[in-house]
Structure 1
Amino acid sequence: MWKDYSIGFIKKNRASSLSVLVAAFISALFLSLLCGLFYNFWNYEIESIVLEEGNWQGRITGTYKENAVFDIEHFANVKTAAVNEELSDGQTLVIDICFYNMRTVYQDMPLIAQKLGVPDSSVAYHESLLSTYFIHDPQDASPPLLLAFYLALLLLVSVSLVLIIHNSFAVSMNARVHQFGIFSSIGATPGQIRTCLLQEVAVLSAIPILLGSFIGIALTFGTIQIVNVLADGIVGRRDAVFTYHPLVFVITILVSVLTVLISAWLPARKLSKLTPLEAIKNIDELQLKRRKKSRILARLFGVEGELAGNALKAQKKALRTSTLSLTLSFLGFTLMLCFFTLSGISTNHTYFERYQDAWDVMATVKDTPIEDFTYEDEIHALDGTDSVIYQKAEAYSSVPTEAISKKVESLGGIEELAGNSVSAADDTYTIQVPIVIMDDSSFAAYCEQIGVSPSGTGSVILNRIWDSVNSNFRYKEYVPFLTEEQDTIILQNCDDASTAVTVSVLGYTQEPPVLREEYGNYVLVQFLSVSTWKQIKEVIGNAEQDAYIRVLDTKDRTLTELNKIEMELTNILEHEFMLEIENRVQEKIDNDAMLNGYKLIIGAVCALLALIGIANVFSNTLGFIRQRKREFARYMSIGMTPEGMRKIFRIEALVIAGRPVLITLPVTVLFVWFMITASYLNPMEFLSVAPIVPIVIFIAAIFGFVTLAYYIGSKKILKCNLAEALQSDYMG
């Protein structure tokens, strides 16, 4: 009997059945997509770690013999043990260990160390790999939680889907309260009513769950391909390969089924608890517990606005999910676009635009003092380039108070500008002195550029200090630091102030050489030649280990040309030095690709929230058709025209779609204003590149889909016989 009733109801109530179908499909689709993306992200992370750091879980270092490997392999939980040839030397062996059950690695490794007679300090754990399996050091108070965060997000979305789909089922089931009240009055038990409702859900949801799961897998594959395309060309990155485990599919199906069953069980349980009298008395219409006037809508749209406002208040609980989803999606989308726009402006200010005429290719020559570098001529001879070879060091200098410029004094003194960055003692200031050591020919060219004679031993002083009183960090203005009357400057060793050397001052300048360097705000930068550095390096010390080669392309500065320069540098130096080479144009491409990837991921989350909200609007609109038929039948009985009813629907759609916009735009404006103020950006810079078009498109999409949902619902209501709707229990 119940089987026949369920089949009959499904056939005669297609709109209600459709909302259940859509809810189940969306649930399975989103869960399949999220599970697939999570699994692929997790698998990619593991493969990357294994490729870069090796496939080991525990590592032990000691001076034991190689037969220690044999002893380790006989531990019950040890899967493999092998000597790491790259890290081992003639005296010390490094053994990499893998376990069958890696979750006991933090208990097993100390036992192995004890067995071999080495201290616990000789034990190392592959924490980055273990953390991907959610295995953390029990002694670590702050373990990495990135993957745990993604898993928590997955669970949160699953719970959200339960709440969203619950609304769809609640709408469908609540429309049948009167029917089940009659059944209950003639002997139907609450258990029979629940079984009837759940078997309907099972029949309606089976195919949508399977279909949604398979489409989710396809979308996962497509998303990975899109990410690979966007990230194509990023140096050092390997393409993600789509992988899918059967267990992921099983989990997706189980979670989808569980989600749908919970969503259906909640309203079914509530419905089955109603007494027959309560159910029969249910008039099956939208009801307001307390009537409040919708003053704004009434003033704007008249009687129709008042009626639309009452209908929206009656549906407040059912529409809560759609309102929240649409608001969060639009807020997240606009904040994301504004954040990345502001971030791009800031990055261009501080990096790409700032250094676009300073360097095109940068080579870091590892562990090489500049005085030992012997390829200056080959580097400078590269066709169509301007190059500088340099190294950096640190020192301090004691500067007498009378040497501070009058401009600094007029601004309140060095203490007012620099605060604690400069220390004072007696009549001197101790100032940090970064040293830039340039190859002789580059230093001579720089001296010629600023009008200083490069002859003799000495330094050029970058004589400037940031005027923090009259300018901000975004648009810095500088004033002279020293009076420029000193012919010499004392440079002190950073570790021992008593170790110092006096260096002649060849000249003062406020124009640094064209390098990819950013200097401190309250320091006295010194530019030296290699010849001068050789004479003072034993006293000053504190030189960085690496040397740098800055190459500026004087031709077309295309990526092809810069790649050619990279290749030429590599051919000259790779046989003798370890190099790291950067390409400015390639870095810009990589940076844009990463930003596009971030936008894609966050945009997809926002689109997901928007789709959830829109799906909820469709579900409520189609599900409430029966109840709205009774409502509009009353309106027609007092003389309302079909056009008036359409107007009510249009007002409701306007409010549902417009509320997220009205909430979001002021929040976005405040966010942008705060970010611009905090970063001292010129507001016109943001306005000239503000993401207005995508925001307008997103708004239009929200309005379009909500309007479509109401159009379908209103069309179905208006073409039926509203008088019959007051008498029939089926929607037809």
Structure 2
Amino acid sequence: MKIMNEYTYHKIKKNKRYTISILVAITIASALLCSLSIFLYSIWDTKVTSTIEKTGYWHGELWNSISGDKLKYITENPDVEATMVKGSWVTAELSNTKRPYLLMRDADKNFWSDMNLKNNLTDGSLPKKAGEIVVSKLFFTDNPTYKIGDKLTLPIGNRMLDNKVISTQDYKKPGETFKTTGTKTYTIVGELDVSGISAYPGYIAMGYLDVLNIQPSDELTVYMRFVNPRKIYNTLPEIAEYVGLTKNEYGQYGVMYNSQLLNLYGISDKSSTNTQLVIILAIAVTLFLLIMGAFVLIIYNAFSLSSNSRIKELSILKSLGATPRQIKYSVLYEGFLLWIAQLPIGLIIGYTFSYLVFSRVNGILSISEDYKNINVSLSWVVIAFSVISSLITVLVSAYIPARKVAKVPAIFGIRQNSQVIKVKKMKRNLIIKRIFGIEGELAASQFSANKKSLRTAVLSLSMCFILISGYINIISIYNFADSKNNKVINHDITLNLNIMDEPSDKMLNEILSLPEAQDSVVRRQVCTSTYVTSDQESDIFAESGGFDGVNSNKYNVLKEDGKYRITVNLVGLGDESFKKYCTEIGTDFEKYYKEGTATGVLLNSTYHTPANSKVIQQIHLLNINQGSKMLLYEKVEDDMNTNNKFDVQIGDVTDISPSDLGTARYSLAFIVPMKNYQQIVSDFSPDRKLESNRVSIDLLVGDKASPNVKEKLTQICSAYLGSEDFNIWSLVEERNHKELVQKAVAISVSAVALMIGIIGIFNAFSIVSNNIRLHRKEFAMLRSVGLTPKGLNKMLILEGLFFALKPIIISIPVVFIICWYMLRLTSITWIEFLAVFPGKAISIYSMLIFVAILLSYWFSSKSVKQNNIIEAMKDEIV
């Protein structure tokens, strides 16, 4: 075996042309496999990191509280790696503050280090000992006399209503009182940016829990991190049973799983399948198999040429006693040595390629709000997987020709150079000959003879072209359809205030008096429902199928007892906004402020796509007149436990909206002054109070001023509210985000296409070079019978053109089908599409394919043109 190793090593050094060819192929394969591994791992690692930052580093939680004396059964459980504990709720009464209570819990050291709440600290420090607390930002905003470092001695006790204790974390109740049970001193050490919605009667606060001071009667919430999280769906219910929790009516314990994090680890409940994870894994496995399979074909061709070039020598060795196994081993050993030689370079190239792609994507998306950069992550698992997958690719590639060479009898292998090669009858290409002359016919014949060896290159370049041109066409069609279907936007910034109380007048004045605001609308809205019959359908709606033709699974239209329940958005406008709206629709606003039945404007308009049409139309939904009455219901979903209903009167019917109300298709909007709105929603159930009291402020500021106005709005609201109490939508940001996402996707698609394109282009260089070198005797014969250097150039250029055209010709029908399918989904005609057809971009990619192929022929043919005719005809191919 040592002799075979020395022989193999000697041939690698001697046959530099084949060695370099195989090395380049293996290097590209290793680089692309490494790059794909890094892509997938980096995205996964970033997702895990952001999920832990968002939700905390825990696997399971006992949602129902346990008593303090049961905690030891969890901490001493060998399956539990760590616990994060929150103590009992405590209500402390404040004096001379906007809200009467501090609503707080203590948490242990592990909670502050491993859970996500620490990320909300905006000032000061986290509590490190008992008595230290961090309070919500809203506490300091509402009560500027307090500051970090203050000591508070507060009465603690229970919220009471009708001599019954109210839970600390319940919404505020009219008529509730406070019953003192003791006092406690706290030191404020930090500020938390946590939700402080006005539905709660107090400010959120968190303190430090010393686990040694936990009392047996304390009610604890426990989060757990498991040694083996894959057993969590069996272990956590067992722990819940062991600590004394009881099952609910569905036979389940009050436990919660950090499913976002567990799913990323590939862990899910046996009763449910993580479809998204399965799809991602399937795509990843498919990509790896495609790349490995493609490179097996490429490297196999290179190894075949190398092994065929020394088949005579191997046959001589076989005649001297070498076994077929040793012959096979020689070829495999060659592959292994070359794989070892390129491995560090392949890994470095793969890492560099990944870094460049991620840097580009991060650079594009980093200006988006809340975007988390994807950092290039490496681990031993990634390196090992890359190394193993590239080794398998190389060994499989070498094994196929190794097995063939090992089966060749020694006598035939020794005589191979004297064998007569039978050539099939050449197919005449008369049309090509008539157009391009004899050179064209020779080029077509040569390309036809090599089509099997060029199959991988053609397929790879076809896939590359389909990916690029298909994506460009899809984006062009999508953007054009989006521009056709865009609704007229009256306002380009919307500020949503998720509060229960009336917003501060001072804050509203600061917002509405912004100099950039050209128009503004202050509104509140909540979903209600009403029942209509088919007789009330408008004529145009009835002709196109009416409510019977509406997909109830897609839209909130429910048929009950011959009637249809549809959504009605109840909208309350501020006085100034409502008066301006009445002027816009040409009606008198005073009639809407009269006592009695609430009167409002019915927005009787919806978007509808008629049958056998793809054009979205705005139509009247109902045939309803001014002065009619309508019965509205609070209940809009079957699971809502309410029977509240109320009569309203329609003062006017219009199709003009005061703003973008976000109404769904086949629904109405009923617009009333804010006073009437508040009167109606005052009878709503407590669960819907927060929804109905949210305030939205729509502003028209223009594209140029939009970023500056959003910054000002954030500063104004931050001075009065917590960050979770408001959010800002911007039309400009939405457009920019859409463009950025498209650019990022384009880079990702281009990267994948580049991977596949490299396979095709390198294969083209390799095959063309080897074919021309193997047929240099034939070229010499053609030159000897009168083929001029100019004719030879023409022949090679035409062969290159035939080669370059083939992947494009193959791709055109596929791209055509993609465009046809996309156009079927939209209202765009072929004539309209041709106006936005991205011909320039596709032409550039086509030219790149032509240039790559022609360059491969140009480089490969230089030696043939320079060869002496007589010497080329005499020499055997080495």
Under TM normalisation by the shorter chain, which class is it?
A: 0.7 to 0.9
State the match for 1:329 in structure 2.
Answer: 464
Which among 488, 493, 497 is matched to residue 361 of structure 1? Answer: 493
Which among 57, 63, 66 is matched to residue 64 of structure 1? Answer: 66
Distance 1:555 1:358, change over 3 A: closer
Amino acid at match of 1:332: L
Amino acid at match of 2:791: G
Q: How does 1:480-491 map to 2 (within 5 A)?
A: 481-482=622-623, 484=625, 486-491=626-631
Cα deviation code 1:204-251 (max 9, x no counterpart): 443322212112222222222222211112111222333322443344
Which among 101, 121, 126 is matched to residue 258 of structure 2? Answer: 126
CA offset at residue 689 of structure 1? 3.9
Does the aligned pair in 1 maintain the 2:571–2:677 contact within 8 Å? Answer: no
Does the aligned pair in 2 maintain the 1:235–1:590 contact within 8 Å? Answer: no
Distance 1:505 1:392, change over 3 A: same
Which among 805, 815, 825 is matched to residue 678 of structure 1? Answer: 825
Does the aligned pair in 1 maintain the 2:631–2:648 contact within 8 Å? Answer: yes
Q: How does 1:312-711 map to 2 (within 5 A)?
A: 312-350=447-485, 354=487, 357-366=489-498, 368=500, 377-385=509-517, 386-397=519-530, 411=543, 414=546, 432-457=567-592, 458-464=599-605, 468-469=609-610, 472=613, 474-478=615-619, 481-482=622-623, 484=625, 486-493=626-633, 495=635, 501-520=646-665, 522-537=666-681, 544-545=691-692, 547-554=694-701, 557-571=704-718, 573-574=720-721, 578-681=725-828, 683=830, 686-711=833-858
State the match for 2:285 in structure 1.
Answer: 152
Moved more, 497-506 or 266-275: 497-506
Separation in structure 2 between the aligned mates of residue 579 and residue 256 of structure 1, nearest angstrom: 51
Unaligned runs of 5+ in 1: none
Separation in structure 2 between the aligned mates of residue 7 and residue 723 of structure 1, nearest angstrom: 33
Q: Secondary structure at the match of 2:569?
A: strand
CA offset at residue 30 of structure 1? 0.9
Cα deviation code 1:87-117 (max 9, x no counterpart): 9998753212122233332332233223222
Unaligned runs of 5+ in 2: 88-104, 108-166, 169-217, 593-598, 637-641
CA offset at residue 270 of structure 1? 1.2
CA offset at residue 609 of structure 1? 0.5
Distance 1:575 1:488, change over 3 A: same
Amino acid at match of 1:57: H
Which among 15, 22, 25 is matched to residue 23 of structure 1? Answer: 25
Q: Secondary structure at the match of 1:391?
A: strand
Cα deviation code 1:17-40 (max 9, x no counterpart): 221121111112112211222221
Q: Secondary structure at the match of 2:253?
A: helix
Which among 260, 269, 292 is matched to residue 137 of structure 1? Answer: 269
State the match for 2:98 in structure 1.
Answer: none
Moved more, 547-556 or 282-291: 282-291
Is 1:93 aligned to 2:220, yes or no?
yes
Separation in structure 2 between the aligned mates of residue 145 and residue 135 of structure 1, nearest angstrom: 11
Distance 1:101 1:539, change over 3 A: closer
CA offset at residue 445 of structure 1? 0.9
CA offset at residue 634 of structure 1? 3.9
Relative to its length, the structure with more helix (as a share) is 1
Distance 1:635 1:346, change over 3 A: same
Does the aligned pair in 2 maintain the 1:59–1:123 contact within 8 Å? Answer: yes
Distance 1:361 1:142, change over 3 A: same
Cα deviation code 1:657-681 (max 9, x no counterpart): 1111112223223322331232102
TM-score normalised to structure 1 length: 0.87
Cα deviation code 1:417-444 (max 9, x no counterpart): 8698696989x98765333222222111
CA offset at residue 302 of structure 1? 4.2
Is 1:720 aligned to 2:864, yes or no?
no
Separation in structure 2 between the aligned mates of residue 539 and residue 81 of structure 1, nearest angstrom: 44
Separation in structure 1 between the aligned mates of residue 565 and residue 357 of structure 2, nearest angstrom: 57
Cα deviation code 1:269-309 (max 9, x no counterpart): 21121123443454589976675455664554344344333
Moved more, 89-98 or 525-534: 89-98
Is 1:249 aligned to 2:383, yes or no?
yes
Amino acid at match of 2:654: T
Separation in structure 2 between the aligned mates of residue 314 and residue 87 of structure 1, nearest angstrom: 80
Distance 1:462 1:317, change over 3 A: same
State the match for 1:265 in structure 2.
Answer: 399
State the match for 2:206 in structure 1.
Answer: none
Separation in structure 2 between the aligned mates of residue 5 and residue 576 of structure 1, nearest angstrom: 73
CA offset at residue 13 of structure 1? 3.8
Relative to its length, the structure with more strand (as a share) is 2
Does the aligned pair in 2 maintain the 1:417–1:468 contact within 8 Å? Answer: no
State the match for 1:36 in structure 2.
Answer: 38
Does the aligned pair in 1 maintain the 2:776–2:872 contact within 8 Å? Answer: yes
Amino acid at match of 1:487: G
The count of aligned residue pairs is 724
CA offset at residue 167 of structure 1? 2.2
Distance 1:517 1:185, change over 3 A: same
Does the aligned pair in 2 maintain the 1:84–1:94 contact within 8 Å? Answer: yes
Separation in structure 2 between the aligned mates of residue 566 and residue 479 of structure 1, nearest angstrom: 36
Does the aligned pair in 2 maintain the 1:501–1:539 contact within 8 Å? Answer: no
Does the aligned pair in 2 maintain the 1:178–1:280 contact within 8 Å? Answer: yes
Two-structure CA RMSD over aligned residues (Å): 3.7
Separation in structure 2 between the aligned mates of residue 67 and residue 285 of structure 1, nearest angstrom: 93
State the match for 1:74 in structure 2.
Answer: 76
Distance 1:87 1:699, change over 3 A: farther
State the match for 2:446 in structure 1.
Answer: 311
Does the aligned pair in 1 maintain the 2:614–2:825 contact within 8 Å? Answer: no
CA offset at residue 616 of structure 1? 0.8
Does the aligned pair in 2 maintain the 1:323–1:613 contact within 8 Å? Answer: yes
Separation in structure 2 between the aligned mates of residue 73 and residue 431 of structure 1, nearest angstrom: 53
Q: Secondary structure at the match of 2:588?
A: coil
Q: Secondary structure at the match of 1:139?
A: coil
Separation in structure 1 between the aligned mates of residue 408 and residue 546 of structure 2, nearest angstrom: 80
Cα deviation code 1:503-534 (max 9, x no counterpart): 333222222213253452x4443211122223
Moved more, 475-484 or 652-661: 475-484
Amino acid at match of 1:93: L
CA offset at residue 48 of structure 1? 1.0
Amino acid at match of 1:133: Y
State the match for 1:110 in structure 2.
Answer: 237
Q: Secondary structure at the match of 2:454?
A: helix
